[in-house]
Structure 1
Amino acid sequence: MRRILVVKPCCLGDALMATPVLRALRTAFPDAAIDVVVTRWAAPAFDGHPAIRRLIPYPEQATLPAIARLAQQLARERYDWGLGLDRSPRVALLLYLSRIPKRAGVNVAGRGILYTHRVRPRPSQHETELYLAVAEMLGVSPQGLEPEYAVPPDVRASVAARLGSVTRPLVVIHPGGAVNPGSTFLAKRWPPERFAALADRLHSEFSATIVLVGGSSDAEAVSGVLHAARSPLLDWSNRLTWSELAALLSLADLFVGNDSGIGHLAAAVGTATVSIFGPTSPLLYRPLGPRSLVCAPPASWTLHEARDLRRPFSIPDTLDIRNVTVNEVAQACAALLGAAGAPDVP
């Protein structure tokens, strides 16, 4: 039996963008034992994935001693292949110290020197395409670009019962995001008053039921939308587990939000998505799916290289997310709502 180790430490959206690699590995090797090393923060993205045998915790503080300890543990598993789906040299070091004979990963500025098979990102290459290129180095063919997340049927039924009978279309809005371990980048957030104006327009023009979602770090953004909106909104923020959020998204007709993991989760459960970008690249990070649209300043589409958001940088006016208008987002929503059918409710 082939033993395969995939390392994808962070974050939720990035982990979901890596799920097509798991699908490709499972298709190529149905009987393989596939383990994933991931931080506690990002682990929910892989919950219940049928390709995964088990999740192994990545150190929350990836110090060299912590990497060495984990590698000692992994070496006992005698993995055949290791895939590093991250630009960090510590991921490459982990796989090297784990004594895995075939190691494929991302190589940027020499950080992947410890891999036996190296992939250099191409300009404008989507992250999912980059991760699949790593798998292709080991002879694994892609099986589509769409992310995937399996909603437990009992959770979906529970959330549907909690939702009750609502007026369609059901639109889920996430006005927050941009907070991850080691990185807070609030410039990725569209202003709350614009989300409120969008909600009012969707309610007026489509009689939509609007549900706001988010975690504790999104409280200010959610509060701002509730304060500015004139239409009735359902506030479900900070009240859902990850699987319950996925269930709600699977029941929705449309999701609208910033560049965040929840947008990728919506795409992963097959829901139509409108994602609002600004200072980050939609070329590299947009949710992939047959019904995913992006609203962004024209300059955002010229960002061809990944940027480390843990390091501060100045944002030119041309990349300001406030350049995206309510009218532009409303038109994208209308285009998708016109094509969407109501999801089946158990």
Structure 2
Amino acid sequence: MPQNILLVWIGKIGDFVVSTSFIRALRKRYPDANITVVLSDFVAELAHTVPELDRIIVFPKKKIAKNLFPFLGTYFGKKWDLCIDLNPSRSTSAGWLTRLSGAKRRVSSFNENCEKFYTEMIKVGVNQEHMLEIYKQFAEYFDAGDEFDYKLSITFTDADMAAAGKIFEQLDIKQDEKFAIVHPGNFSKPRSCWAADKFAALTAYLTEHSDFKPVFISGPGESEKVRDVISQSGVSCALAPNMPLPVLAAFLSKASMFIGNSTGTLHIAEAVGVPTLSFNRAYSYDVWRPITPKSVAIKGPEKEVGSIPLEEGVEGLKKLFELNGYNFK
């Protein structure tokens, strides 16, 4: 039975949140093991919201030249029984980190021409399955299938909620006021974005037909484009400031719903129990969409999400209201 387990994750924010289902199962199966994760610097602050982890090692992907030697000193200071590469697609960086861990067992999903990195490779995701199904197969491989469930989970501290509370005050969101988060972002990937004018129209529809207050959020460097969406909606809407990821999790947890594209923020909302309406390219829908029973995911063509008709977004919103017992005016 492994005593020191290393998880390697050099991926995106949302992908890491989805992996919490596997991490939780692993912890239940090996309650006395020391579980460490090595992950990218831009995801590291979110790892602190996963209580099943004992230790976090930050891989300095952004400033590797400056921080490589301190990282290596930390990384090689431990002997690992088991190292698991959690990246769902081929990552040379993750492969080398797994190889250099020196673990007796080095395990990954099957990737061609990667045998030099691993001692074992699991053949999963052959038929473009949902990522949670793939992580379930991972759990079964490590004898943790009975402990696996499909729920994503992250936690936040009282300090995170206090920081979120200050933002609520800043935005004049009163305690127990019903509000909907609208996140039209991910503008750096235009093929993955529903059209801005459709987000604006859906926001106007939401305001006209419900008592929910729309509150917009944006990713780094996206605030001006989000303000354009607000302007197009013709509705007086608040735009929340950017905030640390644990504070964002606390902020989202108070929302009645989340409306947005397939982003890391979508999965954070899912993990804190918020019903979601999401717009997805075909692959994202098949592999990454939220599958909670009170959420709605709309599948667009692989070419671009922007072509999803506004009418389909409106019907998705109505379905979200129906699933959660909300009332339209």
Q: Structure 1's 336 and 112: CA in aligned 2 closer, same or farther, altered over 3 A?
A: farther
Paired residue for 1:118, among 111, 121, 135?
Answer: 121
- Listed one character per residue, the Cα deviations across residues 73-100 of structure 1 (whole Å, up to 9, x for unaligned) are 4343111111101121332222222210
2:269 matched to 1:266? yes
In structure 2, the residue matched to 1:231 is 235
Deviation at 1:327, TM superposition (A): 2.1
Give the Cα–Cα distance (whole angstroms) in 1 for the partners of residues 129 and 249 of structure 2: 27
Paired residue for 1:338, among 316, 322, 326?
Answer: 322
Deviation at 1:335, TM superposition (A): 2.0
2:262–2:284 CA contact under 8 A, matched in 1: no
Paired residue for 2:140, among 136, 140, 163?
Answer: 136
In structure 2, the residue matched to 1:191 is 195
Between stretches 132-141 and 225-234, larger displacement belongs to: 132-141
Q: Superposition RMSD on alpha carbons, in Å?
A: 2.7
In structure 1, the residue matched to 2:109 is 106
- Listed one character per residue, the Cα deviations across residues 44-101 of structure 1 (whole Å, up to 9, x for unaligned) are 332231111121011316989x989856743431111111011213322222222100
In structure 2, the residue matched to 1:322 is 306
1:84–1:105 CA contact under 8 A, matched in 2: yes
- Listed one character per residue, the Cα deviations across residues 252-281 of structure 1 (whole Å, up to 9, x for unaligned) are 111011111000000000100111113643
Paired residue for 2:206, among 202, 206, 217?
Answer: 202
Give the Cα–Cα distance (whole angstroms) in 2 for the partners of residues 340 and 215 of structure 1: 27
Query: 2:42 is paired with a residue of what secondary structure?
Result: coil
Deviation at 1:188, TM superposition (A): 1.0
Give the Cα–Cα distance (whole angstroms) in 2 for the partners of residues 55 and 265 of structure 1: 19
Deviation at 1:237, TM superposition (A): 3.9
In structure 2, the residue matched to 1:152 is 157
Q: Structure 1's 266 and 192: CA in aligned 2 closer, same or farther, altered over 3 A?
A: same
- Listed one character per residue, the Cα deviations across residues 277-296 of structure 1 (whole Å, up to 9, x for unaligned) are 13643111212423222112
Deviation at 1:144, TM superposition (A): 1.0
1:189–1:321 CA contact under 8 A, matched in 2: yes
1:267–1:288 CA contact under 8 A, matched in 2: no
1:257–1:275 CA contact under 8 A, matched in 2: yes
Paired residue for 2:247, among 244, 248, 253?
Answer: 244
Query: 1:217 is paired with a residue of what secondary structure?
Result: coil
2:131 matched to 1:127? yes
Query: 1:338 is paired with a residue of what secondary structure?
Result: helix
Give the Cα–Cα distance (whole angstroms) in 2 for the partners of residues 149 and 69 of structure 1: 28
Amino acid at match of 1:38: L
Deviation at 1:215, TM superposition (A): 2.4
Amino acid at match of 2:27: R
Q: Identical aligned pairs, as a percentage?
A: 24
Query: 1:222 is paired with a residue of what secondary structure?
Result: helix
TM-score (norm 1): 0.82
Deviation at 1:131, TM superposition (A): 3.5
Unaligned runs of 5+ in 1: 179-183, 301-318
Amino acid at match of 2:202: L
Amino acid at match of 2:180: V
Query: 1:18 is paired with a residue of what secondary structure?
Result: helix
Q: Structure 1's 337 and 166: CA in aligned 2 closer, same or farther, altered over 3 A?
A: farther
TM-score (norm 2): 0.86
In structure 2, the residue matched to 1:170 is 179
Deviation at 1:148, TM superposition (A): 1.0
In structure 1, the residue matched to 2:21 is 20
Figure out how many residues of one structure are paired with residues of the other and give that number: 317
Query: 1:281 is paired with a residue of what secondary structure?
Result: helix
